[in-house]
Structures are given as structure tokens and as C-alpha cells.
Amino acid sequence: MPLLTTIAVGGLQTNCYILKSVDSNDCAVIDPGAEPARIVDAVRSAGLDLRYVLCTHGHADHTGGVAVLQQEMGGSYYLAAADTDYSKNPPGWLLDALGGYTDPPEPDLSFGNSPAIQLGSTEITFIQTPGHTPGSTCFLFESMVFTGDTLFKGSIGRYDFPGGDGRQEIESIRDKLLILPDETPVFPGHGPSSTIGEERATNPYLASLE
């Protein structure tokens, strides 16, 4: 199995990413938002051991498959404490769009505040990027950045949901993401991938920065 596998899940086509360690069968899953059975199948058929379930933020289309995935395969579950309120009782329209949603379990507290975790000998670094939600977190793995709903190809995440803050979101992108090298691949929570350099040069929401 390659280092990175992408599965688009649910009615909102959330990008669920499976990250494989470079030197072991350990893996981490980012944003299992729906269709957990498909994710379980992918992990199992590749012979991987699920170590971590990492959510970029608490919206239901990113957390809806966590409970079943963890029941089936274990693994420590990360969601920023600031987002736990957003991860339960999603609005009806979202439930209808997702299908098969299950309330996520309580996040594992062992991650603490400023985690970097090991996947085999590979590190996954957590980058706090509040704005889309207060607890939005990006993950850096093997020079790839997973940006959830903070930064998309050609766009940024909505900030008009409860807890959203547009000014904070732009500051997070400017101060935490655009400092990464231009060639850094960007893997967002929805839609196609990009690079930091491409977003810096062409993303209309970032045009006024710098």
C-alpha cells in the first residue's frame, strides 16, 4: 500500500485519508466522516494496523464514521477539545446528506495540547488552525499537509457556522500554512489536492495577504 490512500466518503464527499508508516504496518486515518465499512475494508485488505483516528475538526461530515471505525479496529481518537461540542447532534440536513452517521466517542485525552505523534519512525505533527471551527487542526506527515476545511484548492472553509471566525481563519492560513515550503502538497477535507505555492499564487481568498 502506498503512503497515502484517499477515499471520498458520504454525500458531501469528505476526503478520508489513510496514512501508512514508511517502515511498518501502522496507519492513521484522517477524517472518517461516513461509510466506515469502506474504510475498515481498505485498512484490513492492506494488512495495516490502525493506530490513530485523527479528525481535522468536529463537523459531522468529518467525524461520523469514527465510532464504528474505532469499534472495529481500535486506535486512539484525536479531536481538539474545543471542537467536541460541534461533533454531536448535527443538524438534520447534514444527517440526511451523510447517511449512516453515528455520534463519535469522547476523544482520547492522551494527546494533550501540542502533539506530535509517531507512526513507526514517521512523525505526524499537529498544527492548530482555528477559524473554520475553534479546534480546527491540520496534520503534517512526510511533507504533506492535511488541511480539513481550513484551506481548499482555490477556496477556504466557511466561517459562518457556529464557532466560525473568518478573520481568525485567514490568520491561521497566513501564519501556520503559508509558511510551509511552496512545494508542500495540500490535501483538503473536500475536493482536489493542491500545493502551498499554488494556493499562495492563485487562491482568491488569500490574494490580499503579504
**Span from 35-43, 73-81, 107-115, 149-157 in contact with Zn ion (CB under 5 A):** 149-157
Nearer to Zn ion, 20 or 59 (CB): 59
Give the end-to-end CA distance of the chain in Å, rounded to a whole number: 40
With contacts defined by CB under 5 A, how many residues of the chain interact with Zn ion? Answer: 2
**Span from 10-18, 78-86, 117-125, 145-153 in contact with Zn ion (CB under 5 A):** 145-153
**59 touches Zn ion by CB under 5 A:** yes
Q: Give CA–CA dist 159/148, Å, rounded.
A: 13
Reading phi first (left if > 0) and then psi (alpha if -120 to 50, else beta), residue 140 is in beta
Question: Per-residue x/- marks for Zn ion, 94-133, CB under 5 A?
Answer: ----------------------------------------
Closest CB 168 distance from Zn ion, rounded Å: 15
**Span from 13-21, 65-73, 94-102, 147-155 in contact with Zn ion (CB under 5 A):** 147-155
**51 touches Zn ion by CB under 5 A:** no
CA 209 to chain centre: 24
Crossing angle of helices 66-73 and 36-45, rounded to 10°: 30
Q: Give CA–CA dist 207/155, Å, rounded.
A: 11
Sheet architecture: strand order including 116-119: 116-119, 122-128, 137-141, 144-148, 185-188, 194-195
**Span from 15-23, 69-77, 87-95, 144-152 in contact with Zn ion (CB under 5 A):** 144-152
**149 touches Zn ion by CB under 5 A:** yes
- Interaction site with Zn ion (CB under 5 A): 59, 149
